[in-house]
Protein backbone atom coordinates (compact mmCIF):
# COMPACT_ATOMS: atom_id res chain seq x y z
CA UNK A 1 0.00 0.00 0.00
CA UNK A 2 2.88 2.35 0.78
CA UNK A 3 3.93 2.83 -2.88
CA UNK A 4 0.55 4.46 -3.57
CA UNK A 5 1.12 7.34 -1.12
CA UNK A 6 3.80 9.13 -3.15
CA UNK A 7 1.53 9.03 -6.23
CA UNK A 8 -1.40 10.42 -4.22
CA UNK A 9 0.78 13.18 -2.81
CA UNK A 10 1.98 14.05 -6.29
CA UNK A 11 -1.60 14.23 -7.60
CA UNK A 12 -2.60 16.54 -4.73
CA UNK A 13 0.38 18.80 -5.37
CA UNK A 14 -0.50 19.02 -9.05
CA UNK A 15 -4.14 19.84 -8.29
CA UNK A 16 -3.06 22.53 -5.84
CA UNK A 17 -0.76 24.04 -8.45
CA UNK A 18 -3.58 24.16 -11.02
CA UNK A 19 -5.97 25.74 -8.53
CA UNK A 20 -3.38 28.36 -7.59
CA UNK A 21 -2.78 29.16 -11.26
CA UNK A 22 -6.52 29.69 -11.79
CA UNK A 23 -6.84 31.92 -8.75
CA UNK A 24 -4.01 34.27 -9.73
CA UNK A 25 -5.85 36.03 -12.58
CA UNK A 26 -9.04 36.14 -10.48
CA UNK A 27 -7.14 37.81 -7.67
CA UNK A 28 -5.67 40.26 -10.12
CA UNK A 29 -9.16 41.08 -11.45
CA UNK A 30 -10.35 41.54 -7.89
CA UNK A 31 -7.58 44.07 -7.24
CA UNK A 32 -8.51 45.96 -10.39
CA UNK A 33 -12.11 46.12 -9.26
CA UNK A 34 -11.08 47.44 -5.87
CA UNK A 35 -8.97 50.12 -7.49
CA UNK A 36 -11.71 51.14 -9.90
CA UNK A 37 -14.22 50.95 -7.08
CA UNK A 38 -12.65 53.77 -5.12
CA UNK A 39 -15.37 56.20 -6.15
CA UNK A 40 -18.02 58.19 -4.36
CA UNK A 41 -21.56 56.95 -3.81
CA UNK A 42 -22.60 58.23 -7.24
CA UNK A 43 -20.00 56.08 -8.95
CA UNK A 44 -18.02 59.13 -10.04
CA UNK A 45 -14.27 59.62 -9.88
CA UNK A 46 -14.39 63.34 -9.01
CA UNK A 47 -16.97 65.60 -7.42
CA UNK A 48 -16.40 69.28 -8.21
CA UNK A 49 -18.07 71.98 -6.14
CA UNK A 50 -18.80 75.06 -8.24
CA UNK A 51 -19.62 78.30 -6.42
CA UNK A 52 -21.78 80.22 -8.90
CA UNK A 53 -23.48 83.62 -8.88
CA UNK A 54 -27.25 83.38 -8.27
CA UNK A 55 -28.06 84.57 -11.78
CA UNK A 56 -26.36 81.45 -13.16
CA UNK A 57 -28.63 79.05 -11.25
CA UNK A 58 -30.80 77.86 -14.14
CA UNK A 59 -28.23 77.89 -16.92
CA UNK A 60 -25.69 76.03 -14.78
CA UNK A 61 -28.25 73.30 -14.11
CA UNK A 62 -28.28 72.72 -17.86
CA UNK A 63 -24.50 73.01 -18.08
CA UNK A 64 -24.10 70.46 -15.29
CA UNK A 65 -26.12 67.84 -17.18
CA UNK A 66 -24.22 68.46 -20.41
CA UNK A 67 -20.81 68.34 -18.73
CA UNK A 68 -21.49 65.19 -16.74
CA UNK A 69 -22.78 63.46 -19.87
CA UNK A 70 -19.58 64.26 -21.76
CA UNK A 71 -17.32 63.71 -18.73
CA UNK A 72 -18.62 60.56 -16.99
CA UNK A 73 -15.78 60.62 -14.47
CA UNK A 74 -16.86 63.96 -13.03
CA UNK A 75 -19.89 65.01 -10.99
CA UNK A 76 -20.70 68.69 -10.43
CA UNK A 77 -22.27 70.21 -7.35
CA UNK A 78 -23.52 73.71 -8.16
CA UNK A 79 -23.72 76.02 -5.14
CA UNK A 80 -25.44 79.31 -6.08
CA UNK A 81 -25.46 82.48 -3.97
CA UNK A 82 -24.81 86.19 -4.24
CA UNK A 83 -21.26 86.89 -5.39
CA UNK A 84 -20.38 88.60 -2.11
CA UNK A 85 -21.59 85.51 -0.21
CA UNK A 86 -19.47 83.27 -2.42
CA UNK A 87 -16.43 85.48 -1.79
CA UNK A 88 -17.00 85.18 1.95
CA UNK A 89 -17.16 81.40 1.65
CA UNK A 90 -13.85 81.34 -0.21
CA UNK A 91 -12.17 83.55 2.39
CA UNK A 92 -13.48 81.32 5.17
CA UNK A 93 -11.93 78.30 3.50
CA UNK A 94 -15.11 76.49 2.52
CA UNK A 95 -14.16 73.48 0.38
CA UNK A 96 -14.81 74.22 -3.30
CA UNK A 97 -13.10 73.90 -6.66
CA UNK A 98 -14.41 76.60 -9.02
CA UNK A 99 -15.75 80.13 -8.54
CA UNK A 100 -17.91 82.08 -11.01
CA UNK A 101 -18.99 85.60 -10.00
CA UNK A 102 -21.27 88.17 -11.63
CA UNK A 103 -18.60 90.86 -11.72
CA UNK A 104 -14.85 91.22 -12.07
CA UNK A 105 -14.54 93.37 -8.93
CA UNK A 106 -15.48 90.51 -6.63
CA UNK A 107 -13.18 88.10 -8.44
CA UNK A 108 -10.29 90.60 -8.41
CA UNK A 109 -10.65 90.84 -4.64
CA UNK A 110 -9.78 87.13 -4.38
CA UNK A 111 -6.55 87.11 -6.43
CA UNK A 112 -4.67 85.27 -3.72
CA UNK A 113 -7.30 82.52 -3.63
CA UNK A 114 -7.91 81.82 -7.32
CA UNK A 115 -6.20 80.97 -10.55
CA UNK A 116 -6.31 83.34 -13.52
CA UNK A 117 -9.98 84.15 -14.25
CA UNK A 118 -11.62 83.93 -17.66
CA UNK A 119 -14.74 85.92 -18.56
CA UNK A 120 -17.28 83.36 -19.83
CA UNK A 121 -20.37 85.54 -20.40
CA UNK A 122 -21.96 88.97 -20.12
CA UNK A 123 -25.38 90.16 -19.03
CA UNK A 124 -27.53 93.30 -18.94
CA UNK A 125 -30.16 94.77 -16.66
CA UNK A 126 -33.92 95.04 -17.12
CA UNK A 127 -36.75 96.38 -14.97
CA UNK A 128 -38.91 93.52 -13.72
CA UNK A 129 -42.54 94.46 -13.07
CA UNK A 130 -45.58 92.54 -11.94
CA UNK A 131 -47.21 90.48 -14.67
CA UNK A 132 -48.89 92.72 -17.19
CA UNK A 133 -46.99 95.75 -15.92
CA UNK A 134 -50.12 97.23 -14.24
CA UNK A 135 -48.22 100.32 -13.06
CA UNK A 136 -47.14 101.15 -16.61
CA UNK A 137 -43.43 101.34 -15.84
CA UNK A 138 -41.65 102.35 -19.04
CA UNK A 139 -38.18 103.51 -17.99
CA UNK A 140 -35.76 104.06 -15.12
CA UNK A 141 -37.23 107.46 -14.23
CA UNK A 142 -40.59 105.84 -13.49
CA UNK A 143 -38.95 104.00 -10.59
CA UNK A 144 -38.69 107.30 -8.71
CA UNK A 145 -42.49 107.44 -8.29
CA UNK A 146 -43.08 107.42 -4.51
CA UNK A 147 -46.29 105.43 -5.01
CA UNK A 148 -44.32 102.59 -6.56
CA UNK A 149 -42.92 99.84 -4.34
CA UNK A 150 -39.45 99.22 -5.76
CA UNK A 151 -37.01 96.59 -4.53
CA UNK A 152 -33.29 96.59 -5.35
CA UNK A 153 -30.32 94.39 -4.52
CA UNK A 154 -27.96 95.61 -1.83
CA UNK A 155 -25.04 97.76 -2.98
CA UNK A 156 -22.61 95.04 -1.87
CA UNK A 157 -24.05 92.69 -4.50
CA UNK A 158 -22.93 93.03 -8.14
CA UNK A 159 -26.47 93.57 -9.46
CA UNK A 160 -26.99 96.14 -6.71
CA UNK A 161 -23.88 98.05 -7.77
CA UNK A 162 -24.91 97.88 -11.41
CA UNK A 163 -28.39 99.14 -10.49
CA UNK A 164 -26.96 102.06 -8.57
CA UNK A 165 -24.66 102.83 -11.48
CA UNK A 166 -27.47 103.07 -14.05
CA UNK A 167 -29.79 105.01 -11.73
CA UNK A 168 -27.07 107.51 -10.81
CA UNK A 169 -26.19 107.93 -14.47
CA UNK A 170 -29.79 108.97 -15.18
CA UNK A 171 -29.98 111.06 -11.98
CA UNK A 172 -32.85 108.93 -10.71
CA UNK A 173 -33.32 108.69 -6.96
CA UNK A 174 -35.13 105.57 -5.83
CA UNK A 175 -36.17 104.77 -2.27
CA UNK A 176 -36.50 100.98 -2.29
CA UNK A 177 -38.83 99.23 0.15
CA UNK A 178 -36.05 96.68 0.67
CA UNK A 179 -32.54 95.79 -0.43
CA UNK A 180 -31.96 92.12 -1.11
CA UNK A 181 -28.94 89.83 -0.76
CA UNK A 182 -29.04 88.57 -4.35
CA UNK A 183 -30.81 89.04 -7.66
CA UNK A 184 -33.10 86.04 -7.19
CA UNK A 185 -34.51 87.59 -4.03
CA UNK A 186 -35.29 90.79 -5.96
CA UNK A 187 -37.07 88.77 -8.64
CA UNK A 188 -38.97 86.77 -6.04
CA UNK A 189 -40.32 89.93 -4.37
CA UNK A 190 -41.77 91.08 -7.69
CA UNK A 191 -43.10 87.61 -8.55
CA UNK A 192 -44.94 87.39 -5.23
CA UNK A 193 -46.41 90.87 -5.56
CA UNK A 194 -44.46 92.17 -2.57
CA UNK A 195 -42.96 94.80 -4.87
CA UNK A 196 -44.22 96.54 -7.99
CA UNK A 197 -40.87 96.61 -9.72
CA UNK A 198 -37.18 95.80 -9.33
CA UNK A 199 -33.97 95.83 -11.30
CA UNK A 200 -32.65 92.38 -12.22
CA UNK A 201 -30.54 90.76 -14.90
CA UNK A 202 -32.23 90.10 -18.22
CA UNK A 203 -31.59 86.38 -17.80
CA UNK A 204 -33.35 86.26 -14.43
CA UNK A 205 -36.48 87.96 -15.73
CA UNK A 206 -36.50 85.41 -18.56
CA UNK A 207 -36.85 82.55 -16.04
CA UNK A 208 -40.31 83.80 -14.97
CA UNK A 209 -42.06 84.96 -18.16
CA UNK A 210 -45.50 84.08 -16.81
CA UNK A 211 -44.99 85.94 -13.54
CA UNK A 212 -43.15 89.14 -14.40
CA UNK A 213 -42.77 91.50 -17.33
CA UNK A 214 -39.34 92.76 -18.41
CA UNK A 215 -38.97 96.41 -19.37
CA UNK A 216 -35.85 96.89 -21.47
CA UNK A 217 -33.25 99.49 -20.46
CA UNK A 218 -31.61 101.13 -23.52
CA UNK A 219 -27.99 100.13 -24.08
CA UNK A 220 -26.74 103.68 -23.61
CA UNK A 221 -28.33 103.71 -20.13
CA UNK A 222 -27.50 100.14 -19.22
CA UNK A 223 -24.57 98.41 -17.53
CA UNK A 224 -22.72 95.34 -18.76
CA UNK A 225 -22.15 92.60 -16.22
CA UNK A 226 -19.16 90.33 -16.80
CA UNK A 227 -18.95 86.80 -15.42
CA UNK A 228 -15.40 85.60 -14.70
CA UNK A 229 -14.69 81.95 -13.84
CA UNK A 230 -11.59 80.68 -12.04
CA UNK A 231 -10.24 77.66 -10.23
CA UNK A 232 -9.68 77.89 -6.48
CA UNK A 233 -6.11 77.34 -5.33
CA UNK A 234 -7.21 75.18 -2.40
CA UNK A 235 -9.08 72.78 -4.69
CA UNK A 236 -8.17 69.14 -4.16
CA UNK A 237 -9.18 68.46 -7.76
CA UNK A 238 -7.13 71.12 -9.52
CA UNK A 239 -6.86 69.35 -12.89
CA UNK A 240 -10.58 68.59 -13.07
CA UNK A 241 -11.43 72.11 -11.92
CA UNK A 242 -9.21 73.61 -14.63
CA UNK A 243 -10.85 71.35 -17.22
CA UNK A 244 -14.32 72.58 -16.26
CA UNK A 245 -13.30 76.25 -16.37
CA UNK A 246 -11.78 75.66 -19.81
CA UNK A 247 -14.95 73.89 -20.96
CA UNK A 248 -17.06 76.96 -20.09
CA UNK A 249 -15.48 78.73 -23.07
CA UNK A 250 -16.11 75.91 -25.55
CA UNK A 251 -18.78 76.20 -28.28
CA UNK A 252 -21.00 73.70 -26.44
CA UNK A 253 -20.96 75.62 -23.17
CA UNK A 254 -21.26 78.97 -24.91
CA UNK A 255 -24.38 77.77 -26.72
CA UNK A 256 -25.93 76.81 -23.39
CA UNK A 257 -25.16 80.27 -22.04
CA UNK A 258 -26.55 81.95 -25.19
CA UNK A 259 -29.71 79.85 -24.96
CA UNK A 260 -30.01 81.03 -21.36
CA UNK A 261 -29.97 84.66 -22.52
CA UNK A 262 -26.37 85.49 -21.67
CA UNK A 263 -24.26 87.48 -24.09
CA UNK A 264 -20.89 86.56 -25.57
CA UNK A 265 -17.91 87.35 -23.32
Would you say 55 and 159 are in contact if contact means Cβ atoms under 8 Å apart?
A: yes
pLDDT digits (tens, 9 = 90+) for 47-79: 999 999 999 999 999 999 999 999 999 999 999
Listed in sequence order, the residues at least 6 apart from 120 whose beta carbon sits closer than 8 Å to its beta carbon are: 100, 227, 228, 229, 248, 249, 253, 254, 257, 265
Fold of 46-122+225-259: D-Maltodextrin-Binding Protein; domain 2 (3.40.190)
Tens of pLDDT along 72-124?
Answer: 999 999 999 999 999 999 999 999 999 999 999 999 999 999 999 999 999 99
Pairing label, strands 224-231, 197-201: unpaired
pLDDT of residue 24: 40
Q: What is the pLDDT of residue 17?
A: 46
Which pLDDT score, from 0 to 100, does residue 81 have? 95
Share of the chain above pLDDT 90, in %: 83
Could you check whether 46-122+225-259 and 124-224 share the same CATH topology? yes
- Sorting pLDDT into bands at 50, 70 and 90, what band is 169? very high
Average pLDDT over residues 11-24: 43
Report d(CA 177, CA 194) in Å as an integer: 9
- Tens of pLDDT along 21-46? 433 443 444 443 333 333 444 445 89
| Average pLDDT of span 137-162 | 96
Q: Which residues contact residue 102 at a Cβ distance below 8 angstroms, ignoring those fewer than 6 apart?
A: 53, 54, 55, 56, 83, 123, 158, 159, 183, 201, 225, 227
Question: Pairing relation of β-strands 197-201 and 118-130?
Answer: antiparallel
Average confidence (pLDDT) over 233-249: 96
Q: Which superfamily does CATH assign the domain made up of 124-224 to? A: Periplasmic binding protein-like II (3.40.190.10)
Q: What is the pTM of this model?
A: 0.80
Residue 265 has a pLDDT of 94
Domain boundaries defined on the chain: 46-122+225-259, 124-224
Task: Assign 171 to helix, strand or coil.
Answer: coil
Neighbours of 50 (CB within 10 A): 25
Task: Name the 3-class secondary structure at 232.
Answer: strand
Amino acid sequence: MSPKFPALTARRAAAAAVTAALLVPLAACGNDDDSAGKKDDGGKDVNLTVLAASSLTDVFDTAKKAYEKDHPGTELTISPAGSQELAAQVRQGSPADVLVTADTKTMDGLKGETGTPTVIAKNRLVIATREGNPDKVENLKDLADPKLKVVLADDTVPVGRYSKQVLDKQHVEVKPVSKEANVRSVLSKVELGEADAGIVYKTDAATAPDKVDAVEIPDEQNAVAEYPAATLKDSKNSDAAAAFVKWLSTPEAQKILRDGGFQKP
